[in-house]
Structure 1
């Protein structure tokens, strides 16, 4: 049972980070292969808040996510001002992520350098993950269905047309990047307090590629698709550990297959909604009303 819990917890952490990438890549059209860097920033800040300043875990997660979001402006503002897009922006995020990892790897004061940040408590439990995933999914849905989310979709479809319609390109992209980095930072904090320590090796390009793969396979402009694939991409290598070292090769082949036969992803443009819950509730209340009327008669 403990092994199943571990898979669920790691899958939930991956889901939260992937939802952030879905907002940036799936809805705004900005490919990022450097979200592991934002996870590192949020994770280390959250650890320092809890271990050094005795901040409550929930508040520390928000601080870590906010710190990662603010740091995203360091790469986002100059990149968007110079109108970097596509591969150029992806390479910029990769360089930013690797720079963060190398700085952490060589900073031994407080964060422990290559040895990692030790002595952390195990605060990320199964109930915490379930609550965090539910909140992350709810707020992501609220964002993508709001006017800000519609602006992001307009930017991803055609920047020139979106700008002519009055969409502020710089502000829209920065908001999407901030929220995306916030999600990654929260996921980094949850990861650190599950593993009970943090190491720069946790946040390599492999983790960034896993998150991007979840969005590409799950579907563009979809939350439920990346939600499912982010969990599957964690669970399958854990269940098939002998095959885990080949996952990057498999990802490359799957990328080619998906791009050729279903470029929008497995559940592309399939938006999560709660209509089924409303229908179920209407049927339930209708049955109760009918039974109550029958009893009164």
Structure 2
């Protein structure tokens, strides 16, 4: 898989720069590309012709796997949370895109979806779909973390703090493992819950990290007027689009911490933009239903 590595960090202010991982591929961008790279190579080596994974209605991971299948000749199967979505594919931009790439969408109840990691459930899927290479929800596994270790380069060694949004923990684990001894990694969870610490610790090889739990805006995919206004102001000022689920919450948090002097005055900070821009269209559909302003 080809990753565009010829991209430069973007200066936001004297003490804050942004790494635009959303520019590393025209479609399969950001951390999803990093997570899939080595998994796709392994699946080819093992002779698999099908990829199976899991996700929700507006999953960046589902969209990325669907595109990978189209580009690299894999059959793809998406196990989607929510049986009611079966009749709403054309109303959902992410699922519509995945289907257009050739992904076979299989809708299951939320109760069944919770069993996605159990051997019994996976065996049932193998019986139904035949042999497949299993990609977990969100894409995080050992190879995904190793792929994310390539995000930081030698040019990033002069930063003191590396900040990134956190979903399943694979991206921050990769950043932790590839960080320099003087660097501290700050993760900004997009969802509530202390379980992320345990998930990250399974893959992280260093202890130079913390989670900042003050900026999830109520939980996963939660949004309000304050965050919408921040996203639109940020784009107007810097011409950079932030996704509302992950990167916007991180950037809001980083700038708020700078404003409140939570970093040393001479700190150099690098924030990782992990992509996820495909989800904006779906979020705007929700905002319209809620009579809230749209993300521009």
TM-score, with structure 2 as normaliser: 0.28
Structure having the higher Rg = 1
More helix by share: 1
Higher share in strand: 2
- Greater relative contact order (Cα 8 A, min sep 6): structure 1 or 2? 1
Calculate the TM-score normalised by the size of structure 1.
0.28
